[in-house]
Chains A and B, each alone.
Chain A
């Protein structure tokens, strides 16, 4: 158990401020993203609850609250606030949340460079069909078709969220890794839709 540098009161792990004197505590980079927000680690997460926690923490720790404080406190507040935003970004996105939990549990990421290529023939086929449809829509600048492709992908993402939640009930490395990869491909596809649409804006 650590203690508050200004009043010596003992602190719970991960406390941002001292419950006794209210002093801002140095930021601990080892704190998990769930712990930063005082949430239990797990895939199931209510977005409203996440948002409430983020706002509560930012109300307390945002640099605007330390505009008159000394530079050390301003620095600490910046670190806390940055980490809260990171927690919101990672935990608020079910894919990144799953990836983070996977990393915590199995010690490595299933995504990124280690991901490798798609081997499942069924997934591969779907991926190819989808991309062809996108290319066709882009070629003739068909906004309606683009919107349709996006809607389909969004529905699929919804299903993946449910499958992932089920998988985390009894986590198995291979199964979750596969789901993560499938999801990552879907995300790349969604990003490509956006990128194409954006190119139209700039053209």
Chain B
């Protein structure tokens, strides 16, 4: 086996000291993974050469599950157990149930302060569903890179709040991925764009994904990416366009097709298809199968579509105005507007963005890939694989505040503050001998507690007994570079460190994650199998490449029967590569090595002869 690795002069056989890291774009409709190869970011593909993994997970009655294209195909047949757009549910709580239940065809439940989905395999949290998607991407990355991942940068919408970010991090933990950094999607896009196109100056990144909208304003300057302001809508995306179209379709066909979950799913899928078709054509149609079995060609013109979806696009401009105002920037100061996200392919959207910013938006890099590519660049920098000047400075997307008297919120850290950031606030007791105090942390822009997202309730205990107003409790809120909040507290007059009890309003607590990790270990055998297969595949692929390279150069060194033997072994290897058997892959790779031994030997001799030509034996033996 080792012999096939003899290197051409000048090539290094030293193992790569490169740390294997990737960037992952965990999207509402699609997810993908990218890495840096020889300094160039590229997306990683599966065996069928696809790089977009539909963010869909199907839980089957037999206890198995499928993720991606296969799961998406089964959505119409099995709507309750096929979870799509789970990103919309990340970090959401019971009070979101009402609004979300109407939008999504799943059976939602709320338990332990968290939303869950009822499936044939029991209740699943959005974090668990996302973890299944991440696992597939991790396996894809490990198979194509041929080793264990050291870590990943995972992107989140800039406008994700603390609970949504924490949920994303938890999902990665469940998928056995070390998160090097949570990176805002528009910032990632700016990195890919800025480094590739050498952009400098002020840029607006308009990112309309499947389910989220972000607008970020960045200053780009020689490897420094400084977010000036970000604004968005965590519940606005291309999915909303699909839903508008689907509503029209359902209404038009109401008398021929009574509403049912599977009919709704079919129409929703058809709506997406026709939206995509109308990006390139003025008219298009899509085939539907009515519940009575009859087929129907549903026809639509682009101008009709545009009149339906214009209000969805219009909604994105309020955040745009907000970001410009926060950054104190006028549209004409902007050097370029970069489009990110599949939904920005819609021609009407491009026209409306053009009109709003007064310039033609840029989409030079594939809007589906650009976020993952940027994340891969950042991951590589964080792994220390390159000595660059890349520096990303992001902001807190939504203000952090505390509940005060009368159900009002007092802001402690305003939105668009550069992170990391810390703020200390002093509190005092209002009763003699008071030993505990509770603090409610919120995130959002509104004045009333109920209109903001509740992040956590803290109880400070162990305050030394004093008269009312004498205790000085200093609570420090620290937001780290991932945009995640941590709280600590201290009684400053006595130096007693108050105990902080954190009860996240949403998300998983540590005990729950531990339980899930334990369960994951029980299923770990499948993962180990998958990894063995991936490794065997990479090794077999390497053997095939080495053989082909040797044959391309020195096929003449073999006689006909020898060549036939090598070809037969090669054919067996190709067959094994098409299959999924570790044993077959290993056996075939060994067979190739064996059949090629004579070729390797002769190449070696030839190489030695060439190297020694013109030198005497003495000359060599002296050395």
Query: CA separation between A149 and B370, bound complex, in Å?
Result: 41
Q: Complex: how many Å from CA A68 to CA B380?
A: 12
- Chain B residues with CB below 8 A from A58, complex form: 391, 393
How would residues 63 to 85 of chain A score, 1 for a CB under 8 Å from any chain B CB and 0 otherwise?
11001100000000010011001
A85 to B393, CA, bound (A): 10
State the interface size on chain A (CB cutoff 8 A): 20
Please determine whether A78 and B318 come into contact, CB atoms closer than 8 angstroms: no
Q: Is the CB of A59 within 8 A of B391?
A: yes
Which residues of the other chain, B, contact A62 by a CB distance below 8 angstroms?
391, 393, 481
C-alpha gap A156/B597 in the complex (Å): 85
Residues from chain A with Cβ under 8 Å of B420 in the complex: 63, 78, 81-82, 85
Q: Cβ of A39 < 8 Å from any Cβ of B?
A: no
Residue from B224, B392, B417, B481 with most neighbouring chain A CB atoms (10 Å): B481
Q: Is A55 an interface residue (CB 8 A)?
A: yes
- In the complex, which residues of chain A have a beta carbon less than 8 angstroms from the beta carbon of B181? 64, 67
Question: Which of B127-135, B268-276, B382-390 lies at the interface with chain A?
Answer: B382-390
B521 at the interface (CB under 8 A from A): no
B6 → A minimal CB distance (Å): 34
Decide yes or no: A67 and B391 within 8 Å by CB, A55-B224, A89-B417 being known contacts: no
- For residue B417, which residues in chain A have a CB less than 8 angstroms away from its CB? 85, 89
Partner of B180, one of A55, A67, A78, A85: A67
A-chain residues with CB within 8 Å of residue B318 when the two chains form the complex: 201-202
Assuming the A-B contacts A68-B384, A82-B422, are A63 and B480 also in contact, with contact meaning beta carbons closer than 8 angstroms in the complex?
yes
CB pair A59 B480 closer than 8 Å? no
* In the assembled complex, A181 has its CB within 8 A of some CB on chain B: no
Q: Kindly provide the distance from the CB of A198 to the nearest chain B CB, expressed in whole angstroms.
A: 7
Question: How far apart are A82's CB and chain B's nearest CB, in angstroms?
Answer: 4
**Docked complex Cα distance between A5 and B391 (Å):** 27
- Whether, in the assembled complex, A88 has its beta carbon less than 8 Å from a beta carbon of chain B, the answer is yes
User: How far is B476's CA from A78's CA once the two chains are assembled, in angstroms?
Assistant: 14
Q: Is B478 an interface position by the 8 A CB rule? A: yes
> Is B362 in the interface zone, CB < 8 Å from A?
no
For B224, the chain A residues whose CB sits under 8 A away are 55, 59
The answer to whether the Cβ of B261 comes within 8 Å of any Cβ in the partner chain is: no
Across the interface, do A64 and B382 meet the contact criterion of CB distance under 8 Å?
yes
Q: A86 an interface residue at 8 Å Cβ cutoff?
A: yes
* Bound form: Cα–Cα A89–B420 in Å: 12
Per-residue A-contact encoding for B378-406, CB less than 8 Å = 1, 0 else: 10011110000101110000000000000
CB-CB contacts below 8 Å: A90-126 with B: none
* Beta-carbon contact of A82 and B392 below 8 Å: no
Indicate if A194 sits at the interface (CB-CB under 8 A): yes
Interface secondary structure of B, over-half rule: mixed
B94 at the interface (CB under 8 A from A): no
Contacts of A59 in B (CB 8 A): 224, 389, 391
A197 within 8 A of B: yes
Interface of chain B residues 466 through 491 with chain A (CB within 8 A) = 478, 480-481
B325 sits at the interface (CB 8 A) = yes
The chain A residue sitting closest to B19, CB to CB, is: A68
| Contacting residues, chain B, for A89 (C-beta < 8 A) | 417-418
Measured CA separation A202–B321 after assembly (Å): 12
Q: How far is the CA of A194 from the CA of B415 in the complex (A)?
A: 14
Give B408-448 as 1s and 0s: 1 = Cβ < 8 Å from A's Cβ atoms.
00000000011111100000000000000000000001000
Q: Cβ of B586 < 8 Å from any Cβ of A?
A: no
Q: How far is the CA of A197 from the CA of B421 in the complex (A)?
A: 27
Residues of A with C-beta under 8 A to B180:
67
- The residue in chain A whose Cβ has the minimal distance to the Cβ of B224 is A55
Give bound CA distance, A89 to B418, whole Å.
9
Q: Which A residues touch B45, using CB under 8 A?
A: none
Is B322 interfacial (CB 8 A cutoff)? Answer: yes
Chain B residue numbers with a CB within 8 Å of A86 are 421-422
Which residues of the other chain, B, contact A67 by a CB distance below 8 angstroms? 180-181, 382-384
* In the complex, residue of chain B having the shortest beta-carbon distance to the beta carbon of A63: B481
Q: How far, in Å, is A50 (CB) from chain B's closest CB?
A: 13
Contact, CB under 8 Å: B392 / A64: yes
Contact B481 A64 (CB under 8 A): yes
Contacts of B392 in A (CB 8 A): 64
With contacts A85-B421, A86-B422, A89-B417 taken as known, whether A64 is within 8 angstroms of B383 at the C-beta atoms is: no
Interface residues of B in 494-511 (CB under 8 A from A): none
- A59-B389, A67-B181 in contact; A81/B325 too (CB < 8 A)? no
A2 to B609 CA separation, bound complex (whole angstroms): 65
Q: Could you tell me if A82 and B421 are in contact, using CB atoms closer than 8 angstroms?
A: yes
Given contacts A62-B481, A64-B392, A78-B478, contact A85 B382 (CB under 8 A): no
Using an 8 Å CB-CB cutoff, how does the interface string of B94-119 with A read, 1 for contact, 0 for none? Answer: 00000000000000000000000000
Minimum CB–CB distance for A91 against chain B, Å = 13
Give A63 to B181 CA distance when docked, in angstroms: 10
- List, in ascending order, chain B residues with CB within 8 A of A88's CB: 418
Closest to B389 in A: A59
A85 touches B384 (CB 8 A): no
In the complex, chain A residues 167-185 whose Cβ is within 8 Å of any chain B Cβ: none
Which residue in A55, A68, A78, A201 is a CB contact (below 8 Å) of B481? Answer: A78
Shortest distance between the CB of B227 and any CB in chain A (Å): 12
Closest to B393 in A: A58
A36-76 interface mask toward B, CB cutoff 8 Å, 1 = contact, 0 = none?
A: 00000000000000000001001100111001100000000
- Complex CA gap A176/B419 in Å reads 31
Q: Which residues of B contact A63 (CB under 8 A)?
A: 420, 480-481
Contact string against A for B residues 72-114, beta-carbon threshold 8 Å, 1 for contact and 0 otherwise: 0000000000000000000000000000000000000000000
Chain B contacts of A201 at CB under 8 A? 318, 321-322
> Which of A85, A194, A202 is close to B418, meaning CB atoms less than 8 Å apart?
A85
Q: Is the CB of A64 within 8 A of B381?
A: yes
Q: Tell me if B393 and A82 are in contact (CB < 8 A).
A: no
Among residues of A, the one whose C-beta sits closest to the C-beta of B151 is A67
A89 to chain B, nearest CB (A): 7
- How distant is A114 from chain B, measured CB to nearest CB, in Å? 15
Q: B419 and A68: CB pair below 8 A?
A: no
Beta-carbon nearest neighbor of A198 in chain B:
B322
- How long is the Cα–Cα vector from A198 to B181 in the complex, in angstroms? 32
Given A64-B391, A81-B481, A86-B421, A194 and B384 contact (CB-CB distance below 8 Å): no
Chain B proximity of A30: nearest CB distance (Å): 15
Q: Are A78 and B480 touching (Cβ within 8 A)? A: yes
Q: A78-B478, A198-B322 are in contact. Are A68 and B383 (CB under 8 A)?
A: yes
Give chain A nearest CB distance to B326 CB in angstroms.
9
- Docked CA distance A82–B378 (Å): 20
Q: How far is the CA of A106 from the CA of B417 in the complex (A)?
A: 28
Chain A residues with CB under 8 Å of B478's CB are 78, 82
Could you tell me the distance in whole angstroms from the C-beta of B487 to the nearest C-beta in chain A?
14
How far is it, in angstroms, between the C-alpha of A23 and the C-alpha of B392 when the chains are bound?
22
- Cα–Cα, bound, A24→B419 (Å): 20
Q: List 20 A-B contacts (CB under 8 A).
A: A55-B391, A58-B393, A62-B391, A62-B481, A63-B420, A63-B480, A64-B378, A64-B382, A64-B391, A67-B180, A67-B383, A82-B422, A85-B418, A85-B419, A85-B420, A86-B422, A88-B418, A89-B417, A194-B325, A197-B325
Besides A62-B391, A88-B418, 13 other CB < 8 A contacts? A58-B391, A58-B393, A63-B420, A64-B378, A67-B180, A67-B383, A78-B481, A82-B422, A85-B421, A89-B418, A198-B322, A198-B445, A201-B321
Q: Which 4 A-B pairs have the closest CB atoms?
A: A67-B382, A63-B481, A82-B420, A85-B418
